[in-house]
Amino acid sequence: MHDEQPLDWGAWVVLGSVHLLNRTAPRRPDEPIVLVGVPPQEVCRPATTVIVRWNALGPCPAEALHPGGTRFGAATIDGGELFHDAIAGPALRSLVGTEAAPGMVPLCYLAEHPGGGYHAYAQIRFHPEDACFVRTTQEPVGHGPVEELRWLDPVLSAHAEWSMPLNNHLRYFRKHFKGTELEFKYTLDPAPDIWAASMELLKALRDGELDGCRPEYREEFQIHHTENHLFDVTGPESEIGYASFIPTVTAGHVLKRKWFTEDTFARREELTPGLDLTPDRFETYLSKDLGLQVRAMPPFQRVRYDIQCESMRTGHVYGIFLDRCALLAAPEVMLSQCELEYLRSRSILDHDKDEVLVEMRRIDSWLREYLASHGWATEHTFYSKRSFLRDAVALRQNLAP
């Protein structure tokens, strides 16, 4: 359970020169640090990820301070006017001066801790509309009045320690259980219009119906439309599973391998991109080049809509996928599913990877209830595409290639 968030907990977006993040120039004793007071922006506490949308902030008290804590200016600035196209706006320029203004960026989001001190969230994405921050403090730092800036040195030191992930695009992502797919499935019966269902589910996440979670920052929705040429791998025993060839937009195919004897939650998975093969050579490649015993299954078209769900508490990102698979030779033979899969984690702090499993069970419970309320599914399953194709061929032998 997350803590309640009293309105009197202080929160600030801290502005300063970009060189304080990338260390391309030494700190100067006269350069301004700006404290912009904002309503608390955390979805939950404790949080790992915080998103700040400038236009949603309203009027904000802004105080310009020297690094020693000396105040040299103050103003009230509307959040949407702080930056114009990610460049300091007129009010901010007037506050900090023309020399400091061009390099002015959000340094961090600062949240007052009820027991004293502050948690800091480093800025990792900065856009005209919003900014994304990720927590860098395990424990609160800088006890004392926020204006005394006792937290500044620990915050900048933490940023310097983690500069490689924080200062490089998307390097703050990590992946637990690398090489293993963790996935719950839900067979949708009757099958809905998956576009309409996806839009409705995405809105539910935007509205906060899944506690502590929101659509992933600037990556909330994806569309995929592919053909799949899947082979049932029946041997050797250590290789049992399936191999599926998926054409790419540019050229060639991606080979998706999964290893499992029975449909299950966790499966070893590996992708091999850039294979220059034509469909008539798929089976030969698997049997001759890889030494696999395989059985060709009927190829199918897959339409998939991906909703990316981010836990703001842990930084773990999960995919909620709605798809429709129909056989190319018999489009009436179709499987529609929803899938819940762990994807990656937006965090630089260490987390217990088993927390992913705990959180997936919580999301699974919410998702089952959501799907049941729409009459689409009531339980999760592990029913795979391989099982679907096996069942289809068992019912209609003429579908086998």
Domain boundary among 166, 187, 205: 166
Residue 4 falls inside a structural domain: no
CA 313 to chain centre: 12
| 288 C-beta neighbours (distance < 10 Å), count | 10
Residues 186 and 117 reside in one and the same domain: no
The backbone region for 69, taken as left when phi is positive above 0, alpha when psi lies in -120 to 50, beta otherwise, is: left
Biggest CA–CA distance in the chain, Å, is: 82
pLDDT at 75: 96
DSSP state of 205: H
Residue 2 falls inside a structural domain: no
Domain boundary among 125, 145, 166: 166
- Chunked mean pLDDT (size 10), the chain, 401 residues: 54 97 91 96 94 98 87 94 97 95 97 94 97 96 94 96 95 95 98 98 98 97 97 98 94 95 98 94 97 98 98 97 98 98 94 92 98 97 98 95 89
What CATH code is carried by the domain that includes residue 371?
Answer: 2.40.320.10
**How many residues does the structure list for the chain?**
401
Domain boundary among 118, 146, 166: 166
- Judge whether 59 and 78 are in contact, CB under 8 Å: yes
Structural domain count, the chain: 2
Residues 234 and 362 reside in one and the same domain: yes
Residue 46 falls inside a structural domain: yes
Per-residue pLDDT tens over the stretch 199-222:
999 999 999 999 999 999 999 999
pLDDT at 72: 85
Residues 223 and 359 reside in one and the same domain: yes
Residues 196 and 333 reside in one and the same domain: yes
Residues 215 and 301 reside in one and the same domain: yes
Residues 253 and 343 reside in one and the same domain: yes
pLDDT at 5: 44
Residue 5 falls inside a structural domain: no
Residue 148 falls inside a structural domain: yes
Four-CA torsion 191, 357, 346, 259, nearest 10 degrees: -70
Residues 102 and 246 reside in one and the same domain: no
Residue 3 falls inside a structural domain: no
Residues 141 and 157 reside in one and the same domain: yes
Residues 127 and 188 reside in one and the same domain: no
Range of the domain at 223: 174-399
pLDDT at 29: 84
Count, in order, helices (H) and strands (E) of the chain.
8, 21
pLDDT at 160: 96
Residue 218 falls inside a structural domain: yes
Residue whose structure tokens are 């339409």? 303
Residues 59 and 100 reside in one and the same domain: yes
Residue 229 falls inside a structural domain: yes
pTM: predicted TM-score of the whole model, two decimal places: 0.94
Q: Phi and psi for 11 in degrees, rounded to 5?
A: -145, 140
Residues 206 and 342 reside in one and the same domain: yes
Per-residue pLDDT tens over the stretch 44-91:
988 999 999 999 999 999 999 987 778 889 999 999 999 999 999 999
Residues 160 and 191 reside in one and the same domain: no
